[in-house]
Structure 1
Amino acid sequence: MTRGVGGHSPANVTHHLKGTNFPASRADLEKQAKDNGAEEDVLEVIRNMPDEQYEDMAGVMKGIGEAE
C-alpha cells in the first residue's frame, strides 16, 4: 500500500470521507467518498472494508487496515 497522501493510503481515504455522518455503513462511506471526488483506487479500498456499521473515524481506520 502506498503511504502518504497519495494513492490509497489511509490518509487519502480518510481525506475523501470528510463530512461523513456517523454511524455510517460501508455503502454510506463509499457514497461520501464519491461525493468528495475520490478516484477508483480509494473507492476500491472502501469496497474491500468489512461490511459493517462504523461508529467513528477510528473504526474506519481499522476497516481500512483490514481491507489491505
Structure 2
Amino acid sequence: MASANPIQMQKSLKDLDYPASTDQIVEHAQQHGADENILSGLRKLPKDRTFDGPNAVSEAFSKV
C-alpha cells in the first residue's frame, strides 16, 4: 500500500470546523473525496482526542 500524502490529507479536510473528533474528521474526509490511504490513516488517529486545528491533525497523522 502506498503511504498517505499529508498534503492530500489536509486538502480533504478543507473547511472542516474545529475542534473535531476523529470520527468527524474521517466523515468529513470521506465526504470530500479522500482516497483509501488517507482514510485509513485518519481512522488510526486517537479516538479519545479532539483536534483543535489542522496542525494537530497533521502532527497526529504523521505518527500513525
Match of 2:43 among 43, 47, 50: 47
- Cα deviation 1:7-47 (Å, max 9, x = unaligned): 61111111101110000000000010011011111100101
Matched to 2:38, the amino acid is V
Query: Match for 1:49: what amino acid?
Result: L
Are the equivalent residues in 2 in contact too, given 1:50–1:66 (CA < 8 A)? no
- Aligned residues, how many? 62
Q: How does the TM-score come out when normalised to structure 2?
A: 0.87
Percent of aligned positions that are identical = 23
TM-score computed with the length of structure 1 as normaliser: 0.82
Write out the 4+ residue segments of structure 1 that deviate beyond 3 Å after TM superposition: none
Structure 1 gap ranges (5+): none
**What are the residue-to-residue correspondences of 1:1-68 with 2, within 5 Å?**
8-51=4-47, 52-67=49-64
**Higher relative contact order (Cα pairs below 8 Å, separated by 6+ residues):** 2
Query: In angstroms, what is the RMSD of aligned CA positions?
Result: 1.3
The 2-side partners of 1:24 and 1:12 are apart by 18
- Describe the SS at the equivalent of 1:14: helix
